[in-house]
A and B are shown apart, each in its own frame.
Chain A
Amino acid sequence: MGPISRILVTRCVLDGETRRNGWARASPGDATMGKIRPIMVKGHERPLTMVKYNREGDLLFTCAKDHTPCVFYSDNGERIGTYKGHCGTVWCIDINFSCDKLLTGSADNSVKLWEVQTGECLHTWKHTGSVRDVGFAMGDKEFLSVLDNIMGNVPTIFVWDLELHNLANHPDCPKTTILGHKSKIIRALWGPLNKHIYAAGDDAVIRLWDPKTEKLHLSSELVHGKRITDMQFSEDKCLLVTSCADHWVRLFDARTLQLLKAFNTERNINSAAISPRSDCPYVIAGGGQDAMAVTTTSSKQGKFEISFYDHCFGDELGSIGGHFGPVNTISFSPDGRSFASGGEDGYVRINHLDQAYFEAHKLKVEEAKA
């Protein structure tokens, strides 16, 4: 046995021992402390509005209140390109399943379809007001867009046919129009198998719409205390997480809209996401003080961290800071090994999580069994 193998053996035993000792003893350098060196990406000049990974998780798409969405390699934060053409805040972005087409919705009253690889704008759909959310339906045959209730508009969800091979003379009127929300819709998502559209917004209600009949299927009244600021599915679309202006993060069963877990974050939150890994059953939430009050307080008080919650044990865990403004949007990579956050400060931060993060839950389960 050479010296190298000796060291290897030592390390293995050491690891085994730390595990057995349990992780309650959280001295610095212990197994439960993860060190993360985030990548800071400054691709935008204005506050971020949405960050989203593609299905494989190798590309990260961002859009902001400046007019140019960007795409990055999510591994190293290298910018691949920008999508030029909007002339207003870009509120939302969505990538299709095969990652060759991109939809963006903007405050310049339009939805644009882009070729992901070249940044070429393929088509524009005009709206009567700013567009708050867009989303490809599974299979790329339809997409939805959400109209804001400004300039005399009623908050509306449109469903459009999408004929990718017939873009030159594409029919320019929505297939379905869903009315029924009282105030601004912040997020609309396609449910599993395109059966329902999940919509949430300022009226603090999650509504499930049937896109075929335009009828309300289900709604969750009296759960949220204030407006909903973001809503995201888990990777398998079984869970739904909402961040709410009443400072709570709530986890729902996506099928029945039953409230499963709720965490009080004790601060404003703008976004929440679910970790896709089953060995890391975490929910992350980010936000912080309102942008208006930021200049009057120190960044420590602003609570701009992204905090972790274990939805299996119901624990609040640690947090990752770094933004010096409120966090507007967060998104987990589909492999669960990293997450990206976009802030009011104009930065996107890509956090690649470390080994301690992945082991923490297993240790906790072992300890709970013992």
Chain B
Amino acid sequence: MPAWGDAGEGADDEIPDLPARYESEPDVNGVKTITTYHTNDAGFKIKTVRTVKVAKRAIKVRKSVLARRKWAKFGDEAGKPAGYHGKGFTDAGITNLDANEQTLDMTPKARAAEENNESAQRAFEKMNIGTFEAWRPKNRDAGAQAAKEWAEANGIASRDDDAFGSMGGGGRGGDGGSSLAQLAAGAGGKSSYVPPSMRNADGSRNTELVGQRDDSCTVRVSNLSEDVKDADLRELFRRFGPIQRIYLAKDRETHQSRGFAFINFFNRDEAAKAIQTLNGHGYDHLILSVTWANPSGGGGGDGASASVAAPGPGDRLARGDENRFEKHIYNPSIDRFRT
């Protein structure tokens, strides 16, 4: 008996010596194999073996419900085909599936608010640690300088230079002075409006923040399986140090993982350690490729950290891919997909 898919094609009739389709009985796990044979365009005989899991799902339905599913339509619906027409039934006038999916979040509201606070707190701490302190004084001086220049150019006598210096320092240097500085900063930039998120302490535009994402501690992970979720990555990378942010690339429509992710660490050494340990590591039947996120080999610009990173990805990549697979040692404590 030919496979049902091949019936009527005629190809099987021409070569009578092809073995018949064979189906094994389901084993204890309900897995059966289906073997089919056919001849391809080039005249070769092809044997296809498919493994299929057979599962039975029993749904109990009351007799009364079954009887009601055969009811004839009545009233305004009289004349329409009798009975129940299955899930996904639509009737343009009356029954439709909502085009928008609704999301029901079962997290308690109080806890959700708490989590938001936590992440805000983390963001704030992060700001205090490095970036915030780093850019503030420099820009304040620059802003003040620009304001001074603008004021001089426009013939507004700057009565005392300290006014510009003090207002940036957080003190209320007087409303007049402050708005002057803002005007000056605006005149320097392209447009006068500065969104609050981009403002310096004195209201001028913080140019350094624009487009700046510190990639020096970012690790790129690829060859991830589709089942991997954010939480799994966090679990996997947490052991190397605190994580700023995890970005798992997902398909816009299907929301399925696209197989790569970026992990921002706080610390470059920890990122390097993660690369060293996890690159070429088996995870959910795939072998991970972990590298620095920016293509220049993790060039954050400072030589000290680059030297730390060098023994990590550099030599591995240099040795080539096949080498990497040989080096791969299975460590069950890391791969929690196989228990």
Top-3 shortest CB links A-B: A82-B75, A318-B105, A360-B106
24 of the cross-chain contacts (CB-CB < 8 Å) are A4-B51, A14-B337, A25-B231, A26-B107, A33-B103, A36-B104, A37-B101, A39-B96, A40-B97, A40-B98, A42-B94, A68-B75, A72-B95, A75-B84, A76-B95, A81-B77, A82-B74, A83-B75, A84-B76, A308-B104, A313-B108, A315-B110, A316-B109, A321-B102
Q: Interface digits, A2-42 against B, CB 8 Å rule (1 contact, 0 not)?
A: 11111010110110011001011111011011111111111
Contact with A along B79-113 (1 / 0, CB 8 A): 00000111111010111111011111111111110
Chain A residues, CB < 8 A from B103: 33-36, 318
B92 nearest CB neighbor, chain A only: A42
Distance in angstroms between the alpha carbons of A59 and B65 in the assembled complex = 9
Tally of A interface residues using CB under 8 Å: 74
The range of chain B's interface size is 35 or more
A79-B51 contact in complex given A29-B230, A38-B102, A357-B106, C-beta closer than 8 Å = no
Q: Are A82 and B337 in contact (CB under 8 A)?
A: no
Query: Is there a chain B Cβ closer than 8 Å to A78's Cβ?
Result: yes
Binds B, one of A134-142, A146-154, A348-356: A348-356
Mask: chain B, 220-248; 1 = CB below 8 Å from A; 0 = not: 00000001011110110000000000000
On whether the beta carbons of B94 and A23 are closer than 8 Å, the reply is no
Q: A39-B95, A310-B108 are in contact. Are A10 and B85 (CB under 8 A)?
A: no
Q: Which of A6, A11, A21, A117 contacts B71 (CB 8 A)?
A: A117
In the assembled complex, the Cα of A178 lies from the Cα of B51 at a distance in Å of 70
Cβ A357 vs Cβ B109 within 8 A: no
**Closest chain A residue to B86, Cβ basis:** A76
Q: For the complex, is B122 an interface residue (Cβ under 8 Å from A)?
A: no
A40 to B103, CA, bound (A): 16
What's the Cα separation between A264 and B111 when bound, in Å? 17
- The answer for the CA separation of A354 and B84 in the assembled complex, in Å, is 22
- A interface with B by C-beta (< 8 Å): 2-6, 8, 10-11, 13-14, 17-18, 21, 23-27, 29-30, 32-43, 56, 58-59, 68, 70, 72-73, 75-84, 98-99, 117-119, 308, 310, 313, 315-322, 349, 351, 353-354, 356-357, 360-361, 364
Whether B102 lies near A32 (C-beta < 8 A) is no
Q: Which residues of A contact B77 (CB under 8 A)?
A: 79-82
Contact B336 A17 (CB under 8 A): yes
A85 to B52, CA, bound (A): 56
Q: Which of chain B's residues has its CB closest to A307's CB?
A: B109
Residue B64 at the A interface, CB < 8 A? yes
Q: Does B284 contact A (CB under 8 A)?
A: yes
How far apart sit A14 and B335, CA to CA, in the bound complex (Å)?
11
Cβ–Cβ contact A56 & B64, under 8 A: yes
Please determine whether B89 and A76 come into contact, CB atoms closer than 8 angstroms. Answer: yes
- Least CB distance, A238 to chain B, in whole angstroms: 24
Q: How many A-B residue pairs have CB under 8 A?
A: 194
The answer to whether B86 touches A5, judged by C-beta atoms less than 8 angstroms apart, is: no
Least CB distance, A111 to chain B, in whole angstroms: 19
**Chain A residue contacts of B102, Cβ below 8 A:** 35-38, 320-322, 351
If A68-B75, A84-B75, A119-B75 touch, does A79 touch B94 (CB 8 Å cutoff)?
yes
- Separation of A342 and B183 alpha carbons in the complex (Å): 56
Please, which residues of chain A bring their CB within 8 A of the CB of B95? Answer: 39-42, 72, 76-79
Say if the beta carbon of B13 comes within 8 Å of chain A. no
Please determine whether A320 and B104 come into contact, CB atoms closer than 8 angstroms.
yes
Cα A266 to Cα B95 in complex, Å, equals 32
**Would you call B78 an interface residue if the criterion is a C-beta within 8 Å of the partner chain's C-beta atoms?**
yes
In this complex, what residue of B is CB-closest to A59?
B68
* Contact partner, A29, options B53, B110, B234, B255, Cβ 8 Å: B255
Give B102-144 as 1s and 0s: 1 = Cβ < 8 Å from A's Cβ atoms. Answer: 1111111111100100000000000000000000000000000
Question: Is B310 part of the contact surface with A, judged by Cβ < 8 Å?
Answer: no
Question: Known contacts A82-B76, A84-B75; is A318 also within 8 Å of B100 by CB?
Answer: no
- The answer to whether the Cβ of B307 comes within 8 Å of any Cβ in the partner chain is no
Residues of chain B within 8 A (CB-CB) of A83 are 75
Chain A residues, Cβ within 8 Å of B337:
10, 13-14
Residues of B within 8 A of A315 (CB): 108-111
